[in-house]
Structure 1
Amino acid sequence: MAIKIAFTNYKGGTAKTTSATNLAGGLLKTFPDAKILLVEADGQGNTSSTFNIKSSKVENTMYDVMLKDVPVRDIIINAYENIDIAPANSDMDFVDFDFMTENKKELKISIFNALKKIPNLVKRIVTMNLKEFISEIDKEIVEKKDYFNLLNHKFDEVDKIYDYIIFDTPPEMKAVTASTLAVVDHVIIPYEPEKYSVEGIVRLLRRINTIRKEYNPNLNIAGLLPVKVSKKTKLHNEVMASILQFSMNQKINHFNTRIPASIRFATATANGLPATITDKKSEKFTESYYHLIDELIDNKVIK
Structure 2
Amino acid sequence: MARVIAVSNQKGGVGKTTTTCSVAAGLKKRGFRVLAIDLDPQGNLGFSVGADTTISASIYDVLKGEVKIQYAIQRLKAMDVIISSILLSGIDLEYTSTGREYLLREALAPVQDFYDYILIDTPPALGILTINAFTASDYIIVPMLPDIFSLQGIAQLYETVVRVQKYCNNTLSIAGILLTKYNPKTHLGREVRGTAELIAEDLHIRVFDAFIRSSVVAGEAQSVQKSLFDYAPHATVTRDYEKFIDELLAKGV
> Normalising by structure 1, what TM-score?
0.79
Moved over 6 A (4+): none
- Residue in 1 that maps onto 2:208: 255
Give the match for residue 249 of structure 2: 297
- C-alpha distance in 2 between matches for 1:253 and 1:58: 41
The equivalent residue for 1:23 is: 23
Deviation at 1:222, TM superposition (A): 0.5
* Deviation at residue 22 of structure 1 after TM alignment: 0.4
- Number of residue pairs the alignment of both structures matches: 253
CA 1:70–1:86: 2 relative to 1, 3 Å: same
Three-state SS of the structure 2 residue aligned to 1:231 is: coil
Q: Secondary structure at the match of 2:87?
A: helix
- Alignment of 1:191 with 2:144, yes or no, is yes
Residue among 70, 86, 89 paired with 1:93: 89
* 2:61 is aligned with 1:64: yes
Shift, 1:291, TM fit? 0.7
Report SS of the residue matched to 1:217: coil
Q: Which has the larger radius of gyration?
A: 1
TM-score computed with the length of structure 2 as normaliser: 0.94
Amino acid at match of 2:87: D
Work out the CA distance in 2 between the residues paired with 1:218 and 1:245.
24
Q: Of 100, 111, 116, which residue of structure 2 is paired with 1:163?
A: 116
Task: Output the CA distance in 1 between the equivalents of 2:23 and 2:217.
Answer: 15
Is the 1:276–1:289 contact (alpha carbons within 8 Å) kept by the matching residues of 2?
A: no
What CA deviation, in whole Å up to 9, does each residue of 1:94-148 have, x standing for no partner? 1112224xx5xxxxxxxxxxxxxxxxxxxxxxxxxxxxxxxxxxxxxxx5xx232
In the aligned structure 2, how far is the partner of 1:157 from the partner of 1:283?
37
Contact 1:148–1:174, Cα closer than 8 Å, also in 2: no
Give 1:154's aligned residue: 107
Q: Distance in 2 between matches of 1:61 and 1:94?
A: 14
- Of 218, 224, 230, which residue of structure 1 is paired with 2:177? 224
Identity of counterpart residues, as a percentage?
Answer: 28
Cα offset for 1:59? 4.6
Give the aligned CA root-mean-square deviation in angstroms. Answer: 1.5
What secondary structure sits across from 2:93 in the alignment? Answer: helix
How far off its partner does 1:175 sit? 1.0
Distance in 2, Cα, partners of 1:297 & 1:35: 14
The 1-side partners of 2:133 and 2:47 are apart by 21
Unaligned runs of 5+ in 1: 104-142
